[in-house]
A = this chain, B = another copy of it.
């Protein structure tokens, strides 16, 4: 397997966590987003969206991080990323999608670039945009996690799973943009636990071969 990766991509970071949790070896190929390497014709042939991550499995190229997480869980079931019951799986997927559909895409690099040009927005306005969607999403997530009896020491029960693979990179991202997090004690509790977990540590942007100073 080859993982087309970028140290600071939070969608790629999700996959690095899952690969580390399951002990699956994958060759990392860095695709430097700030240098536009995702737009090269060769990469676009692999991934017509020009986004990371992509994961090659033999001749097949997998795209979209949530689809890849499900694939990894189906083909390498231990330890599982999803619970054994359908309602539990629906809960975990919905927590992951709250972040992956309703926070992250709004703050992706291509969107921030569009806000700058052609929309002509200032960096202050763009930073407010980033914070707005993170805070709105995290408020709903905190409400759900704090009230649900299914929440354990992780998002669902007492082992890390799919929702944690998605939440932790979004928390990293929030800190990068100095978004205040004190209103989200349950998210911070899970984040502190992840910081002490070897798989989450190994997947952290600062630990990647293409990391730059400040990661």
Q: Which A residues fall within an 8 A CB radius of B?
A: 48-51, 57, 60, 62-64, 66-68, 70-71, 74-75, 86-87, 89-91, 93-94, 97-98, 100-102, 104-106, 111, 114, 118-119, 121, 125, 128-129, 132, 137, 139-140, 143-144
Measured CB to CB, the closest approach of chain B to A131, in angstroms, equals 12
A53 to B12, CA, bound (A): 28
Contacting pair A100 B102 (CB below 8 A): no
Q: Is the interface of A mostly helix, strand, loop or mixed?
A: helix
Measured CB to CB, the closest approach of chain B to A79, in angstroms, equals 18
How many chain copies?
A: 2
Contacting pair A71 B87 (CB below 8 A): yes
Q: Which residues of B contact A60 (CB under 8 A)?
A: 87
Contacting pair B86 A74 (CB below 8 A): yes
User: Would you list 16 pairs from A and B whose C-beta atoms are within 8 A, ordered by A residue?
Assistant: A48-B140, A50-B140, A57-B87, A62-B87, A62-B94, A64-B94, A66-B66, A67-B91, A67-B94, A67-B97, A68-B90, A71-B86, A71-B90, A114-B132, A119-B121, A119-B129
Q: Which residues of B contact A48 (CB under 8 A)?
A: 139-140, 143-144
Using known A-B contacts A106-B105, A143-B48, determine if residue A67 contacts B93 with beta carbons closer than 8 Å. Answer: yes
Q: Which residues of B contact A125 (CB under 8 A)?
A: 119
